[in-house]
Amino acid sequence: MLKYNVSHIDGQARRGQLETAHGVINTPAFMPVGTVATVKTQTPEMVAETGAEILLGNTYHLMLGGRAELIEKAGGLHKFMNWNKPILTDSGGFQVMSLSDLSKTSEKGVEFKSHLDGGEKHMLTPERSIEIQHKLDSNITMQMDECIRLPASVSEMRRAMELSIRWAKRSKEAFIDREGYGIFGIVQGGLDEKLRLESALKLTEIGFDGYAIGGLAVGEPQHEMFETLDFTCPALPVDKPRYLMGVGTPLDILGAVERGVDMFDCVMPTRSGRTAKAFTSYGEMNMRNAKYKEDFSALDPECNCMACKNYSRAYLAHLIRANEILGAILLTQHNLYFYQTLMRGIRNAIETGTFQKFKKEFIKKYSQTK
């Protein structure tokens, strides 16, 4: 129930439009992470100013303590947090497994306890995950899957992949179709080509509105991630969006777009904004570095964000040293704007058939921190 149109191709890179009940997402798209109904340090107006057209919400954080029911009463996550554009939510499964105090996976789902919820025992099943995402009014629901830690044996990866396929079926069945809303399947299988292709095939047979590639960006070298994309992307339907979960650096994104990925999410721009790190046209900068203390130039002279237009590196460095919240606000705003500027550049390059040139020039400049 989500319309997707691929309007331009440039090599494997794709330029498209994904239509939802809350508006169109231009792809390739980067989704800022709004973990617990807020993109940390930003108002939704500030997030929209960066050009972001879709946010990601974390179901794990949005379900604890009765939050999902609260948000449902509020009329959904869009209304609750005052973000009227599309929202994608993860299934909660990954964070249950990585963040909760105790978790135990079975055929049925994952049993867990969370200190955020008074230590009460919970069961997250594919059906419950889909129900919660429905309560949140998420435009793009993610199936529940099992994302195991790497390295793992092939037999362990196969077991998890096959369980994820069974959960994919249950997720799809539990999902209630509505115009402008959809559900994505998640390809698993680690770095193993056979498993990835099998996962992609079985998910395609079930049929989803989009296909995510999970289990990457979990510590493996970049070339292994790219190799996995090299054989996984061609196995996915060409007429549906492809979403690489949890990725990544600007260079990760360029390499993944080159291989046919359409959507991304990552905490990097927001988390870095709270730890004094800036992404700029000339590479990454640590604003705690003494050399910026009396540097009155703009953070990124080529950036049009409010932080770069109105403040100096010296002022940002001052705020950060003084532990002032405005430092995190401005740096986060810049980082999000920088990521969206990258995506605008990528989209424009694909439209004009100049993606390779764009990528080469971006990387060249990005490698010379000023």
Footprint of its own copies on this chain (CB under 8 A)? Answer: 36-38, 40-45, 67, 70, 73-74, 80-82, 293-294, 296, 306, 310-312, 314-315, 318-319, 322, 324-326, 328-330
Q: How far is the CB of 82 from its own copies (least distance, A)?
A: 5
CB of 324 to its own copies, least distance (A): 5
Reply yes or no on whether 295 is catalytic: no
DSSP string, 256-308: HHHTT--EEE-SHHHHHHTTTEEEETTEEEETTSGGGTT--S-SSTT--SHHH
Report the residue number, 41 or 138, with the smaller CB distance to its own copies: 41
Tell me the angle at which helices 325-351 and 313-321 cross, rounded to the nearest 10 degrees.
130
Q: How far is the CB of 76 from its own copies (least distance, A)?
A: 12
**3-state class (DSSP) for residue 52:** coil
- List all residues 6 or more positions away from 58 whose beta carbon is below 8 Å from its beta carbon: 33, 35, 36, 89, 90, 92, 95
Residue 36 and residue 150: Cα distance in Å, rounded? 27
Residue 177 annotated as catalytic = no
Token pair listed for 191:
């770095």
Give the nearer residue to its own copies in terms of CB position, either 311 or 358.
Answer: 311
- For its own copies, the closer CB: 244 or 331: 331
CB of 6 to its own copies, least distance (A): 35
Task: Please state the closest distance from residue 332 (CB atom) to its own copies, in A.
Answer: 9
Which position among 90, 192, 252, 262 bears the catalytic label?
Answer: 90
Tell me the HSE value of 6 on the side-chain side, using a 13 A CA sphere. Answer: 18
Please enumerate in sequence order all residues whose Cβ is within 8 A of that of 360, keeping only pairs 6 or more positions apart, or say none: none
Q: Closer to its own copies by CB, 2 or 77: give it.
A: 77
Taking Cα atoms as reference points, which of 199, 107, 105, 91 lies closest to residue 142? 91
DSSP track, 104-120: EE-SS-EEEE-GGGTT-
Give the nearer residue to its own copies in terms of CB position, either 57 or 126: 57
Tokens read off for 169: 């079926």
From 10, 137, 265, 300, the catalytic residue: 265
Catalytic annotation, residues: 90, 265
